[in-house]
Structure 1
Amino acid sequence: MSTGSFNANKTKVLLKLSLNRLKLLQQKKAQMAQQARREIAVLLEKGKIESARVRVEYIIREDYNVEAMEILELYCDLVLARFGLVEQMRHCDPGIAEAVNTIIYAAPRMEVKELSQVRDQFMLKYGRDFASAAIENIGDIVNPRVVNKLRVCTPEKLLVNQYLNAIAAAYKVDFVCPEEDLEPIPDLPTGPDAGLVQYASTPMSQPFELYHPPSAATTVAATPGVPRLNFPSPEDALASAPISPYAPGYAPPTVSLLPSQLNFPGPSDVRSVRSAVIPGPDSLPQTGPTFSIHSAPLPGRDAFPGPSVSPDPLDSVQDDLEKRLAALKK
């Protein structure tokens, strides 16, 4: 790891050199894989199946590395296009975080010296903790495709057989893997409970059928002494259920009555009401001291003085006229 401070110009130059080196490596590995496929086709033609399987595993590993290089090439180009974020921001911007983390993770696993120097510059820029999290892939911050392609493991038998068939078909070799080799073998259980699970060696004659529970409309089988019950189906139950007034589109029922159905009082009822005797005050129960309105003397007319009325002048004129008429008659 280089010591000192982050150098933006040096990092930009190293990214460009890494792009060129990745392209050259892809071309070189593609040519080597093409030559290895020809050799595998010769082994298949000679019947050396096991040797061909070992060589195919090497080709699969090289194909994985080429695919990882293609992704890293895109990430280097992305960082160059957004290099202003690297220069101006102190922390790693989310727009280039995945690209920077993937470059730091894949640099020691690649055959590109310039890519390792780019990783050192990123460690100087963002710190040792940032680089450690990227190397250990804490929180899945690295591209999962790159992690899968750079993983060191033995290829599956199914993938090896598919490569063999593809190579044989490309070079017109009379070879086809048996069908049982093309089917993935299930992982057998291990441990004390391994004997409890049994795997069938031959395929089942009939596939599994899903269990469908009986519907609500199924009639319960009659048993001696128990009456048979018929349950309505869910559709019938919903159709007969009352409609809630809060349901959308609910309309209150309208009631229409004919005039003959209306109960209006007739003439006889009116006469009977008129002829009814209303109880007087004497028929009411006397709860307090007895008192009769006839026993008390009524006040006289003089007890209520009337309002003072001024004489009307027209009355005096009329009296004068009557007197003159009476005098003329005499």
Structure 2
Amino acid sequence: MGFIHRRTSKQTGRVKTLLGLALKRLAVARRPRLARKSISRGDVGQLLALGRLDRALHRAEQVIEEDNMLEAFNIIELYCDRLIEHAKQLDKPDECGEDIREAAAGIMFAAGWCGDLPELLFARTILADKFGGDFAMMAKEGTGVVDPMLVWKLAGNKRNMELKKKVVKEIASENNTEVDFSDFPEMVEHNGSDKVPHQSNQEASRNRR
């Protein structure tokens, strides 16, 4: 049993190291995305000034893409901090609380969507070994205890017309530009994949930090 305990503790130490590296990389990964978001918002404003609403709506997809990834980074950062701070609980995965399980599942899901953070892939392998195949499969698919908001931010439909209109309207307001969406009717949603999940109390708390 002593051997198993030492091996598990070594794995936990490895996870802490990987998540610490991911946190450092997050700071670097944010910068180009913030720049692209700013450029894209500027492009939308210019297109609106030229009366090219169709192109402005298309360009809004890039704004949404960058904004979603940045918000996903915030959630991932929270999860990394949580797992590092409470790493000892990972030595007994069956006894982990819901908050630790959510963090582990979130990191495992994000690993498949965040090429900016390669350390998450290695952390996912160790976490999968700790929590088991069923947990790993649900985490990979974005089900179970994975936060629906994180799933949407990383895997949601960035072409959602209503969301694009919201972004364009916001930018138009900032630039004192009038917009008329009468030529762009609502898109019918055939399933829930286009819908933004309602903000949970936990998500609201994250946004206030």
TM over 0.5: yes
- 2:96 pairs with 1:93: yes
> Structure 1 residues 52, 137: closer, same or farther in 2, change over 3 A?
closer
C-alpha displacement of 1:48: 2.3
1:230-279 residue CA offsets vs partner (Å, 9 max, x unmatched): xxxxxxxxxxxxxxxxxxxxxxxxxxxxxxxxxxxxxxxxxxxxxxxxxx
Aligned to 2:56: 52
> Structure 1 residues 186, 162: closer, same or farther in 2, change over 3 A?
closer
> Structure 1 residues 136, 15: closer, same or farther in 2, change over 3 A?
same
Superposition misfits of 4+ residues, deviation over 3 angstroms: 179-182, 184-189
Q: Is the 8 A contact 1:158 1:181 kept in 2?
A: no
Structure 1, unaligned runs of 5 or more = 190-330
Q: Partners of 2:189 and 2:58 in 1: how far apart?
A: 25
Query: Where do residues 268-287 of structure 1 align in structure 2 (5 Å cutoff)?
Result: none
Q: Partners of 2:181 and 2:47 in 1: how far apart?
A: 21
Q: Partners of 2:181 and 2:43 in 1: how far apart?
A: 24
Structure 2, unaligned runs of 5 or more = 1-6, 191-209
> Structure 1 residues 188, 75: closer, same or farther in 2, change over 3 A?
closer
1:55-81 residue CA offsets vs partner (Å, 9 max, x unmatched): 111211221111111111101100011
Aligned to 1:208: none
Letter in 1 for 2:178: V
1:136-195 residue CA offsets vs partner (Å, 9 max, x unmatched): 244x3111111121224243323222222322333x35x32226479x848499xxxxxx
- 2:73 pairs with 1:108: no
Aligned to 2:128: 123
- 2:47 pairs with 1:43: yes
Q: Partners of 2:161 and 2:128 in 1: how far apart?
A: 40
Residue in structure 1 matching 2:15, options 11, 14, 24: 11
Q: Partners of 1:115 and 1:188 in 2: how far apart?
A: 33
What is the TM-score of this pair, normalised by structure 1? 0.49
Q: Partners of 2:28 and 2:186 in 1: how far apart?
A: 39
C-alpha displacement of 1:108: 0.7
What is the TM-score of this pair, normalised by structure 2? 0.75
Q: Partners of 1:144 and 1:180 in 2: how far apart?
A: 32
Aligned to 2:25: 21
Residue in structure 2 matching 1:133, options 130, 138, 148: 138
- 2:183 pairs with 1:178: no
Aligned to 1:79: 83
C-alpha displacement of 1:27: 3.0
Residue in structure 2 matching 1:162, options 156, 160, 166: 166
Letter in 2 for 1:134: A
Q: Is the 8 A contact 2:83 2:100 kept in 1?
A: yes
Give the match's secondary structure for 1:153.
coil
Q: Partners of 1:166 and 1:76 in 2: how far apart?
A: 32
Q: Partners of 2:109 and 2:139 in 1: how far apart?
A: 6
Bigger Rg, which one: 1
Give the match's secondary structure for 2:94.
coil
Q: Is the 8 A contact 2:82 2:103 kept in 1?
A: yes
Give the match's secondary structure for 2:136.
helix
Residue in structure 1 matching 2:35, options 31, 41, 57: 31
Aligned-residue RMSD, C-alpha: 2.6
Aligned length: 180
Aligned to 2:207: none
1:8-50 residue CA offsets vs partner (Å, 9 max, x unmatched): 2221111111112123222321121111211222222222222
Aligned to 1:253: none
Q: Partners of 2:165 and 2:124 in 1: how far apart?
A: 38
C-alpha displacement of 1:92: 5.5
